[in-house]
Amino acid sequence: MQTSSSLSSSSSDSKPQMKEHCDHQVDCLKMIQLILDGEATDQQLARLKANLVSCQPCIQMYHLEQEVKELLTKRMEKKCCPEQLVATIKSKILTFS
Amino acid sequence: MSDTPTRDDQDRTGMPDHGGSTGSDQLLPDGDTVEQPSADTPARRYTDEQKYLVFNKEFMPHIDSMYNFAFRLTTDEDDANDLVQDTYLKAFRFISSFEQGTNAKAWLFRILKNSFINDYRKKSKEPAKVDYQDVETTYNSEDAESEHTVDLRAESVSDLIGDEVATALNSLPVDFRTVIILCDIEGFTYEEMAKILDIPIGTVRSRLHRARNLLKEKLRDYASSMGYNEESEE
């Protein structure tokens, strides 16, 4: 239960301590991005899981990265290729070879 | 083995390697020049009929993604049209250097990105052209500056609409925009991106990190200017 007991913030209750400050924020952010990109190792995944119950800045960074990725994947319009262009390409390659 | 192209080629670990070849395991048209096939990667000799078959079955299914990529790079529909057309004609011309059943999408994206750099950017009227070397030098020389976290809450940006996100993305230098498009919008793996962009995986990772920091800064500016910032609502 006691993860990083040296960094005591509000002790005396039995809940796991929540870190309000993270000393490795840049490294944690890089790890979070690897995980959201599906490029992380199992070890990195395990480390993130631990951080997500004990480190407030990591939780916030995780939500932000996830949100930004979702904005890009879900909210931006996906442009489709105009039919006319498909037809042009198909007719042009027929004149090749 | 079936030669049916699969839509999820990009989910594999990247382009397959051919036997003992290590480095460039697939020869790709690089701008207007194409490398000569080496001994371990012989050029495919397709008949005309096979060429059209490969083109229609393996290249055409990616045309919407290709168009979207071209549009996000050029931010202009006419330019996207030209770029996609050039790319597909090049792909057909160099079809003998494509091996059936390998990652057609990554192969096509690489041709498109090279065409964009070689042809489009030269004649681009865009005034605020950012030379990649400049950007890279600037960012490498200010590592402490680029290695940071952006102070922003998820809730601050969650109300942004697609056009606003697109505007923020478009305001990034094109090389940073490119990695975000490839990774977040097209879902390529880092390994595939390294091949499409001709850069090491480590550079993919660090460029993505920097690109995302820049994007978050733009989003933060946007969100606060639109009053989406949580501080502004009392």
Q: Which range in A64-73, B131-140, B219-228 is most confidently predicted, on average pLDDT?
A: A64-73
Question: For chain B, what are the domain ranges?
Answer: 26-123, 132-228
pLDDT(B115) > 90: yes
Distance from CA of B133 to the nearest CA of A (A): 23
- For B163-189, the pLDDT digits (tens) are 889 999 999 999 999 999 999 999 999
**Chain B hits for A80, Cβ within 8 Å:** 64, 67-68
Distance from CA of A22 to the nearest CA of B (A): 12
Lowest mean pLDDT among A8-22, A53-67, B42-56: A8-22
Residue B84 burial by CB count (10 A; 0-12/13-18/19+): exposed, middle or buried?
buried
Question: Where residue A16 falls among pLDDT bands split at 50, 70, 90?
Answer: low
Same topology between domain B26-123 and domain B132-228: no
pLDDT(B25) > 70: no
Q: Dihedrals φ, ψ of B113, to 5°?
A: -65, -40
The closest CB to that of B48, out of A29, A92, A97, belongs to: A97
Q: Supply the pTM of this predicted model.
A: 0.76
Distance of CA B5 to the CA centre of its chain: 21
The dihedral through the CA atoms of B171, A77, A35, A6 has a sign that is positive
In percent, the amount of chain A with pLDDT more than 70 equals: 82
User: For residue B20, what is the DSSP state?
Assistant: T
* Helices and strands in chain A: count of H runs, count of E runs: 4, 0
The closest CB to that of B184, out of A29, A73, A82, belongs to: A73
Lowest mean pLDDT among A81-85, B42-46, B197-201: B42-46
Contact between chains at B92 and A68 (C-beta distance less than 8 A): no
Q: Dihedrals φ, ψ of B149, to 5°?
A: -115, 150
- Mean pLDDT of chain B, nearest integer: 77
Q: Dihedrals φ, ψ of A42, to 5°?
A: -60, -35
* Helices and strands in chain B: count of H runs, count of E runs: 12, 0
Domain B132-228: CATH architecture, name and number where available = Orthogonal Bundle (1.10)
Distance from CA of B225 to the nearest CA of A (A): 18
Q: Which of B124, B50, B58, B128 is nearest to B88 (CA)?
A: B58
**Chain A hits for B218, Cβ within 8 Å:** none
- For B50-109, the pLDDT digits (tens) are 999 999 999 999 999 999 999 999 999 999 999 999 999 999 999 999 988 899 999 999
pLDDT(B151) > 90: no
Separation between Cα atoms, residue B180 and residue B177, nearest integer Å? 5
**Chain B hits for A51, Cβ within 8 Å:** none
In percent, the amount of chain B with pLDDT more than 90 equals: 50
Question: Which of the four CATH numbers 1.10.1740.10, 3.30.300.30, 3.40.50.920, 3.30.465.10 does domain B26-123 have?
Answer: 1.10.1740.10
Q: What is the DSSP string of A49-73?
A: HHHHHHBHHHHHHHHHHHHHHHIII
Separation between Cα atoms, residue A84 and residue B88, nearest integer Å? 14
